Amino acid sequence: MLKKNEIKVGDTYSEKIVEDLKRTQIVQYAGASGDYNPLHSDDKFTKEIAGYPGVFAHGMLSMGMTGKMLTNFVGDGTLKKYGVRFTNQVWPGDSLESTATIIDIKEEDGETLAEIAIETKNQDGVTVITGSATAKVG
């Protein structure tokens, strides 16, 4: 858990959340989550029917990987909110870095909360996720 006297507005935390994303990891996510949309594992369908250059990652895989950066930063069981927009697709071979920035620290109903802005970018600097989170602070 973040400590009130150890954080300030403007603090950032970054993590490389995946390096050279493998198609097999996308398949692992499909199996664990139960989302077997062929767009994520079926190249033939994705090219010939959907009209994309090939399979791409589930948005929820990117959100899940971004979420591990977040829990590594704020601790387990401290999140009150976590939300994202998927701004660009993530492809096999992509390397992603995710950054959390504390944008506010406030008291609410007897709790101290950190408001956090989230951004995940690929190796070309393209933003694939923007989001926000609220975490309890100790």
Partner 1 sequence: MSKIKMPVEKSHIMMFARSIGDANPKYYEEKDENVIAPPTFIQSSAQFDPDYFLRPKIGGDNWFGSGKEATGMKSSGSGSGGGGAAMGLHAEQHYEYHQPLKVGDVITAEVKPGKSWEKESKRAGKLKFSESVTEYRNQDGELIITATSVGVVTEKPVEN
Binding residues vs partner 1 (CB under 8 A) = 17-18, 25, 28-29, 31-39, 41-42, 44-45, 47-53, 58-61, 63-65, 67-68, 70-72, 76-77, 79-86, 88-89
Give the number of C-alpha atoms closer than 13 A to the C-alpha of residue 104, restricted to the C-beta side. 8
Q: Nearest distance from residue 68's CB to partner 1, in Å?
A: 4
Q: Are 105 and 116 in contact (CB under 8 A)?
A: no
94: left (phi over 0), alpha (psi -120 to 50) or beta: beta
Instruction: Report in angstroms how near the CB of residue 11 gets to partner 1 at its nearest.
Output: 20
* Sequence letter at residue 10: G
Query: In the bound complex, what is the minimum distance in angstroms from residue 108's beta carbon to partner 1?
Result: 14
Q: Which is nearer to partner 1, 10 or 96 (CB)?
A: 96
Question: CB 133 → partner 1: shortest distance, Å?
Answer: 8
Q: Is the dihedral of CA 60, 47, 44, 20 positive or negative?
A: negative
Q: Which is nearer to partner 1, 57 or 102 (CB)?
A: 57
**Biggest alpha carbon distance in the chain?**
56
